[in-house]
Amino acid sequence: MPLLQLVYASRPFGFDAGTLINILFKARSKNAAADVTGCLICRDDIYLQMLEGPAEGVARIYEKIIQDDRHVEVTELVRHEVTDRMFGKWAMRDDPVQSWMWTREEVDRGDVSRASKDDVLRVFNKLAAQPSEPT
Ligand SMILES: Cc1cc2nc3c(=O)[nH]c(=O)nc-3n(C[C@H](O)[C@H](O)[C@H](O)COP(=O)(O)O)c2cc1C
């Protein structure tokens, strides 16, 4: 069955450890129930999230996310059908922004929002190849 893979970037509003824990706790239980998996790359200046799974479930969750006031400037970067998941083992993996991704200056300049689909997918692909305990 074809899967929808969707990636957006946004700017955190009120980012702190407690907020992130709450987001991930809720995300993991709701995603698991909808057979949605993915990865949330986060830092106090950016969220970059991949959602993947049955199209209806991904779209419904994304609609909720767009309306969430814990972030602003949600910019959709990728929306396409895929046959394989990148983060099939994770209801929502979380990772910090790493040095090979984007500097604060690049994020501030808007480089992530203007990144090509291939560039964005390359970041997630590279991350998916790095080991991490499923959560
Ligand atoms: C950056 C960010 C990422 C989020 N990721 C997810 C997610 O993967 N799955 C999810 O269900 N909710 C996620 N949420 C939370 C949703 O916006 C929403 O609060 C949640 O789905 C609860 O919906 P409810 O009001 O129906 O309970 C995220 C929120 C933010 C700010």
Rounded percentage of the chain residues whose pLDDT exceeds 90: 94
Nearest residue by C-alpha to atom 10 in ligand 1: 27
Nearest residue by C-alpha to atom 9 in ligand 1: 27
CB 94 within 8 A of CB 39: yes
Bridge partners, 10 (sequence order) = 47
Q: Is the CB of 26 under 6 A from ligand 1?
A: yes
Report residue 4's pLDDT band, with 50, 70 and 90 as the boundaries: very high
Which parts of 13-132 are beta strand (E)? 37-43, 46-53, 71-82, 93-96
Q: What is the pLDDT of residues 8-28, one digit of tens each?
A: 999 999 999 999 999 999 999
Atom number of ligand 1 nearest to Cα 67: 17
104, amino acid identity: R
Q: Pick from 71, 87, 80: which is nearest to 127 by CA? A: 87
Cα of 29 vs centre of ligand 1, distance in Å, is: 10
pLDDT (0 to 100) of residue 16: 94
The DSSP output letter for 1 is -
Domain boundaries, the chain: 3-128
Sheet holding 71-82, edge to edge: 71-82, 3-12, 46-53, 37-43, 93-96
Cα of 66 vs centre of ligand 1, distance in Å, is: 9
The pairing of strands 3-12 and 93-96 is: unpaired
Place of tokens 């907020």: 19
- Over 80: is that where the pLDDT of 95 sits? yes
Q: What tokens appear for 102 in the block? A: 């984007």
pLDDT (0 to 100) of residue 56: 97
- Over 80: is that where the pLDDT of 101 sits? yes
Class of domain 3-128: alpha beta
Q: Is the CB of 91 under 6 A from ligand 1?
A: no
- Over 70: is that where the pLDDT of 53 sits? yes
Opening angle at CA 46, ends 41 and 47, nearest 5: 45
Torsion of the alpha carbons at 9, 72, 59 and 8, rounded to the nearest 10: 0
